[in-house]
Every structure is written in structure tokens, then in C-alpha cells.
Structure 1
Amino acid sequence: MQTLQVVLATVLMFFLLVSLHEWGHFYFARRAGILVREFAIGFGPKLFSVKRGETRYTIRLLPIGGFVRMAGEDPEVVDVQPGQTVAVKLKDDKVTRIYLDRLDERSNVLRGEVKSIDLERDLHVRLDVDGETMRLNVHPQALMVARGRETQIAPVDRQFGSKPVGKRALAIFAGPVMNFILAFVLFGIAIQMSGIPAEHPTKVIIYRVVDASPASEAGLKNGDWIQSVNGQAIGGDVDSFVKLIGDSAGKPMKWVVGRGGAEVPLTVTPGSDGKVGIYPGPEKRSPGIGESISMAGQSMAHWTNVIFDGFRKIVFGEVGLKDMSGPVGTTKVTLDIARQGLPYLTNWAAILSLYLGIFNLLPIPALDGSRLMFLGLEAVRGRPIDPNRESMVHFIGFAMLMLLMVVVTYNDILGLVRK
């Protein structure tokens, strides 16, 4: 891949992993009737924002995740109190807009002092308009306008906490599930693109030549197949081929490779470590759909074990902070893999998607796993945990995750500088 293609492919990969995860939350929240206020990719200041229907879609500065903001999860930022002067706009005898500022600039509105207001259950507002008290019904999708921003009201039946535990749990669990589904699909696609070893291989293929390596300097190219080494026919025996290279550290070797129907003689000198900088393998064939599905499942199981083994090493102190990577380190690895070709990037994206799904299900405050744990406790107790306490737990957890992100990012940058 060329540099621009590598960068674009990397950006698209991260966008796909995060957006599909958040889409899972979004879709099942909407199905449950929950008002979704924002669908965001990234954190921090907004770079792009557009509103479609009830939801605002945003791309934010820090590409370290995303979120779906549902009504009722956090305290509403706009509030109206009795005694406050507001202006309201009516349509079909219902309030569709409530203006909280710049009242003199509003046209075709009623202006008055709020005597009482209920925007969650009874959906009404009582206004004192020139000494006359008027009771007005409020539309369930009415907007409150303040400081140039419009905020849709959230009747109680549109709020996250009003829905049954099962529907709320599904809206939370759907995010990681989307990552698992994506991982399975990407593993299958990678297998289709890469192929699988033939049952009785007769060739050793060079699938990748490392830049600035002995193999690259000798003129080897991706796709070459090894006919002979020092006069010895190789056939499809990868192990004996690798052993020949390892036994010839620092010694010139005479290779004959097949390339485009021609025989190309080359002199290759392994480094002192007995390596030449290639990724050899047996010839491959295209797998059937059934084989791809089966092998994708095997890849899911293998990498799940690898991921949990990594978590175990962190818990028992076998891996320290200096060994962990953050967004910078992950991006560097992704760029390196993208340069190897689309099949490698696809397989890496599958691994990252699987990791993202598993990580989000850990019972760590602020992650989906912690929110599911609170919902489980609510189901057992028969009543919800105090929302303020739960919010505090998630806030502290989020702050700790951001602190960890800063530390590992610092380590990533320090490692790049030292190199």
C-alpha cells in the first residue's frame, strides 16, 4: 500500500470499529423507544456536527472511542423553574418551543411567567400572561431553546431509566455484540483474501519481503516462489527452507526463484541472526464458504484466549504500564500492518474488534460491563441503584481510564522519540 492509502485505510478501520459499536447501542436504544440525543465518534471538542431527526451526529477531536448519549442517563442541562419568564411557540394548541433567553427577539410567541411546569409526565406549562394564567399542553417532542442551542424534552417514557431492565441491558450489550459480529466477518474475509494452505503443497511462496532487509537488497519480491537453494530443490517444505537459512548466517546463498514464469537466480546473504527478512509459506488455495466460517470461528476462539491471557498477565503483574500501548502505539502498529497489505490489515482489524468487544464487557466503571453489572443488581434487588451513586462510580472510572490513557500514550510517544 502507498502511504496515503495506508493512512486512509487505518482511519477507516478505526471509524468502522467504533461506529459499529456505537450503532449497536443506538439501534437498540431507538427500538426500545429511548430518545438518543447524540451519536458521537471520539471525545472532546466537536469537529463536525449535524442533526438528523431527534439525534445529533458528531465527530470529535480525540479518536479514542465514542458514545451514544441517551436521555435520562445524565442530568438534563436545561431546566425551567417557576417564576422564570419564558416565551413559547404554539402549533395545533401545543407548545412546540420554549425560549429561555433573547425573549424580545422572538416573534409569534406567548411570553409569560412560569407558574408550574412538567416536561416529563403531565407535559404542561402554566404561564401568567399579562395577569391571566394559561395552562398549555406541551408537545412530547418540544424543544427548549437557550444560548443558541435546541434541546428536545425527554418525557419519562423516552428516558433510559424508564425502560424494563431487559431492554436497557440489550441496548448496552448490543455494542460489544456488534464488535464480535464484525470480528467474525472480518476474520472470514481475511481468510478468503489470504487463502489457506494447500493439502499437498509443492511450492514455498514468499508472501512478504521486509523493506531494507537482506532479501530486499538481494532482489526478492512478494509472490516469488523458491525453486532451489544452493542447488537443493525445496518443493513445498517450508521448515527445511527456513532451517537452511538459519544454518547459513552471514554466508552467501544461491537461490533460484520462480517469477512470472521465468527462473531468476539470486544471491542472498542471511544476517548474523540467520534471517533474511521474508515471510515464507506453503502455496495456498481459495477456501470454500464453509471452511471460511469454520476457520473464522477458530480464529475467534484463539484470539479470545490470547486476549484473556493478556488480561491475566496485567492482573498478576507480569505486564507493567511500560509494556502497555495506547492509541499512539496501536496506531503505529496498525500503520505498519497496513503497509503489508489489505489481508493483513483486515485480520488485524478483526483482532482489534474482538478486543474492543471483550474489553468493554469487563466490569470496570464507565465501561459497558459495569453498566450491565448495575442492571443485574437492579434485577436482583427489584429496584435501581441510586442514580447519583452509579453516576459517581462511572465518573470516577472514566477519569481513571483517561488517566491510564494519558500514561500509556506518554509511554508510546517516549518510545517513538527514543527510536
Structure 2
Amino acid sequence: MAFLGDTLHFLVGYILPFLVVLTLIVFVHEMGHYLVGRWTGIRVLAFSIGFGPELIGFNDRHGTRWKLSAIPLGGYVRFYGDGDAASTPDYAALEEMRPEDRGNTFLGARLWKRAATVAAGPIANFILAIAIFAVIFATYGKHIADPTVSEVKPGSAAERAGVLPGDRLVAIDGTPVVTFDDVRRYVGVRPDMPISVRIDRGGKDVDLTMVPERSVIEDQFGNKMELGIIGILTSQQSGNFRVQTFGPLQAIGEGARESWNVVTGTFDYIGNLIAGRMKADQLGGPIRVAQASGQMATLGLVALFHLAAVLSVSIGLLNLMPVPVLDGGHLMFYAIEGIRGRPLGAGAQDVAFRIGFAMVLMLMVFATWNDISSLLG
């Protein structure tokens, strides 16, 4: 009975929230491809959530097969003229088509139509994230605090730089800060990197330089993250903790800003990774996403959908990377086609896609290894 209880808890507590989050993100991504493809006149053969054997499905009046497949770790839209679910062109079939039919295929469509259809998937992910953040902010508001220091930790970077209780941070490296979270976000991705901080001390601006210290932070679930910290705290009185409310249009703008924060944070992490300032063990795969989904589900639907918004931005960014087999790789080929006036040869594209597939596969293996290592460690 204990085994059955543990199994049920695992399925309901981790797998179900993970599938809800992943299905939402994949559905919206593929719907972006589908809607723009249909709008530009490209015929759609199949819209699938998941890969592998079909579990259930139906045909709509346009001849598109909508289906739910057995392996729920992604999805695809298959256009007319595609050789498989990965949108590999079926050149042999294209050669045998009549000219009027070839115009309804993805490969036979004009360059701008192909580019718009491919770009629509990642764009849909960004729109989803903005929408989720906007609904959360419009419904529940946003918890914020002023960047005013109530305590400076002894021996910290802030103490060595001369920060005092009562100081209010105004800007970091010339970037204005409005909330205490702005400070935490900026400093967190800059361990061991000198930063210039402007503070307001009794109405006078004071410029200081400090180096955030590398520190391992553990959250309430025991997950460990390596971040930069400067050693300052705020309090209810100093920080004026409050909930900021937003109207519908303001919430959309705040949702866009929150999504942009995810984008910049991602690029900051990648830059630190390349420069060797941060470790690659924070790259997570499906196991860690499932774990995070289960953990956020325990905090409620708001936390779970907040995670979905962050993941949607991340997946949109990942798909825009200029790697063949990803949407960004296709867009790179279209840019080359636009410059050359003709597409790359089928052989060159095939080699590029094989290399791209190998790169994505290695990334997935590495991320999964990180997941397993974090569970065992």
C-alpha cells in the first residue's frame, strides 16, 4: 500500500503538473505555426500534441488531423509536402506534384510566408508568457519593496564598499533600480564581477564599487542555486512592503517587462557560462522541470502558472537559437536564401540538420545528466 501511495503521489504531485505545463506551452507554440501557416495558404496535414503512435484524434473540415500522441514530450505541425513530423521536405513528392498543388506546400510557399510561419511558434510562446504574467498581475497584483537597506551583513561586499543602513539604491552600472527585486535580479547573475552602485544617502548621491560574492542559495524545497550576493537586507519598515495593483493595460505592460527580465536573465547566464563565471550544472532538463512543476503546484495554481510563463519564454528563446532543426535554424536558412536569391542545396541542408540534431541531442543528454546528478546529490 505504501508503494501504491508513493506512486500515486508521484503521478499526481509531479507528473500531472509537469504535463499540464508542458502541454500548454507546446499547444500554444504549435498553434502559432498552425495559425500563420493557414493564414498564408499553406495546407496543414496534422497537428499533434506528443510524438509516436496516435491515442485519439479527429479530422477537421480542412483535412487536418488533430491528435494526441503517446509520448507527451513535445508536439508538431506537419505541413503539406513535409516528409515527416520534423518538417523534413519530401523532395521526391514535391517533384511529382502539379504546380498548383506545390503552391500549397510549405517548401513551395514564398520566402516571407515560410519565415512568418516558423517565427510564429516562438512568438506565440512570448505572447503566452506575457498573457499569463498579465493575468496574475491584474488579478493578484505584484509584491514589491523599495531598494532601501535596513541591514548590512558583516564582512559582506556591501559593508566593504561602505553601504550603510538607510541607504537607498538608485542605480547599478547606470541602470535605474526601482524595487529591491531589481537589485537582487541584477546582482544575482554577476558573481565576482565589479559593479558600480549609486545610492541615495540623506538626499545626496554616493557612488560605490563592489564585487558580488558567489554564494550557494537554497530555496524552501532544498534546491540549490549559485548566485551573486552583496549582503544587504530590507525590512517591512525600510522597504515599505506592499502589493502594487495594475489595470488591464498596465498589467500587459508589466507582463511584457517580466518576460523581458527572463530573456535578459537567460542571456546573462549564458554569457557567464561562456566566460566561465558560472557552472553549467544549473542547466535543467525534463526531470528538473517536472520536479519544479510539482513543487510549484504545492504553492498553488498561481505559482504553477508563473513557472509556465517562465518556461514559455525559455522555450521560445531556445527555439530561436540559430541551430538547424530548431526554428531559429530554419530562419537562418531563410536569411541565407534571401541574401543569395536561392536556397541552400538539399545536400547542404541535410548535413546541417544532422549536425543540428546532434547538438540538440547532446544538450538534452547533458541536461538530463544534470537532473539525475542533482537528484542523487
Counterpart residue number, 1:25? 33
Which residue identity is paired with 2:351?
A: M
Given residue 103 of structure 2, which amino acid in structure 1 is its aligned partner?
A: D
Q: Is 1:159 aligned to 2:118, yes or no?
A: no
Q: Is the Cα–Cα contact under 8 Å of residues 34 and 71 in structure 1 kept in the other structure? A: yes
Aligned to 2:136: 190
Instruction: Let me know the Cα RMSD of the aligned residues.
Output: 3.3
* AA at the equivalent of 2:132: L
User: Is the alpha carbon distance of 1:391 and 1:60 closer, same or farther for their aligned partners in structure 2, counting shifts above 3 Å?
Assistant: farther
Q: Is the 8 A contact 1:190 1:344 kept in 2?
A: no
Quote the residue 2:288 is aligned against: 329
Matched, 1:360 2:319: yes
Does residue 1:65 correspond to 2:80, yes or no? no
Equivalents in 2 of 1:380, 1:343: separation in Å?
46
Does residue 179 in structure 1 map to residue 142 in structure 2?
A: no
**Does 2:23 correspond to 1:15?**
yes
The alignment partner of 2:107 has SS state of helix
Q: Give me the whole-angstrom Cα distance separating, in 2, the residues matched to 1:31 and 1:290.
A: 28
What code does the residue aligned with 2:127 have? I
2:268 equivalent among 304, 309, 329: 309
1:388 to 347, 352, 357: 347
Assess, with a 3 A threshold, how the Cα gap between structure 1 residues 284 and 8 changes in structure 2: closer, same or farther.
Answer: same
Q: How many residues align?
A: 275
Q: CA 1:374–1:198 in 2, change beyond 3 Å: closer, same or farther?
A: closer
Query: Taking structure 1 as reference, are residues 198 and 335 closer, same or farther at Cα in structure 2, changes over 3 Å only?
Result: closer
What whole-Å deviation, never above 9, does each CA across 1:161-194 have from its counterpart, x for those lacking one?
2211111110011111111111111111121343
Which residue does 2:63 correspond to in 1? Answer: 54
Residue 375 of structure 1 deviates from its aligned partner by: 0.5
- Structure 1 residues 351 and 381: alpha-carbon distance in aligned structure 2, compared to 1, 3 A threshold: same
Q: How many angstroms apart in 2 are the aligned matches of 1:6 and 1:60? A: 20
Relative distance call for 1:381 and 1:26 in structure 2 (3 A) is same
Q: How much has 1:16 moved relative to structure 2?
A: 1.1
3-state SS of 2:132 partner = helix
Deviates more, 1:280-289 or 1:324-333: 280-289
Does the residue aligned with 1:43 lie in a helix, a strand or coil?
strand
1:309 to partner: Cα distance: 1.1
Higher normalized strand content (fraction of residues):
1
Distance in 2 separating the partners of 1:39 and 1:361: 21
Is the Cα–Cα contact under 8 Å of residues 19 and 72 in structure 2 kept in the other structure?
no
The Cα offsets for residues 194-240 of structure 1, whole Å up to 9 and x where unpaired, read as 3235899xxxxxxxxxxxxxxxxxxxxxxxxxxxxxxxxxxxxx9xx
1:346 to partner: Cα distance: 2.0
Q: Which structure shows the bigger proportion of residues in helix conformation? A: 2
Tell me the TM-score normalised to structure 2 length: 0.64
Comparing 281-290 with 28-37, which one deviates more in the overlay? 281-290
**What secondary structure does 2:72 align onto?**
strand
Alignment of 1:1-400 (within 5 A): 4=12, 8-52=16-60, 53-73=62-82, 74-76=88-90, 119-121=96-98, 155-197=101-143, 282-284=241-243, 286-400=245-359
Amino acid at match of 1:24: G
Q: Determine if contact 1:194/1:343 at 8 Å carries over to the other structure.
A: no
Cross-structure match for 1:235:
none
Q: Any conservation in 2 of the 1:189–1:346 contact (CA below 8 Å)?
A: no
Distance 1:380 1:178 in 2: 27
Tell me the SS of whatever aligns to 2:322: coil
Amino acid at match of 1:176: P
Percent identical residues: 31
Q: Are 1:38 and 1:55, in contact at CA under 8 Å, matched by a contact in 2?
A: yes
Q: Bigger shift: 301-310 or 401-410?
A: 401-410
* Aligned-partner Cα distance in 1 for 2:257–2:363: 32
| Residues 187 and 21 of structure 1, relative CA distance in 2, 3 Å threshold | same
Query: Which segment drifts farther, 337-346 or 282-291?
Result: 282-291
Distance 1:385 1:355 in 2: 29
Distance in 1, matches of 2:73 and 2:280, equals 18
Between 33-42 and 159-168, the greater mean CA deviation after superposition: 33-42
Paired letter, 1:407: F
Contact between 2:122 and 2:320, CA under 8 Å: does it hold in 1? yes
The aligned counterpart of 1:112 is none
Deviations 1:126-168 (A, max 9, x none): xxxxxxxxxxxxxx8xxxxxxxxxxxxxx21121122111111
Return the alpha-carbon distance in structure 2 between the equivalents of residues 156 and 64 of structure 1: 31
Instruction: Report the 3-state secondary structure (helix = DSSP H, G, I; strand = E; otherwise coil) of the residue aligned with 1:41.
Output: strand
Give the secondary structure class of the aligned counterpart of 1:333.
helix
2: distance between equivalents of 1:46 and 1:398?
24
Structure 1: unaligned runs, 5 residues or longer: 80-117, 123-139, 141-154, 201-237, 239-274
- Summarize the Cα distance change of 1:396–1:36 in structure 2 as closer, same or farther, 3 Å threshold: farther
Higher RCO (CA 8 Å, separation ≥ 6 residues): 2
Report the CA distance between 1:121 and its aligned residue. Answer: 1.6
- Alpha-carbon distance change, 162 to 191 in structure 1, aligned in 2, over 3 angstroms: same
Deviation at 1:350, TM superposition (A): 1.2
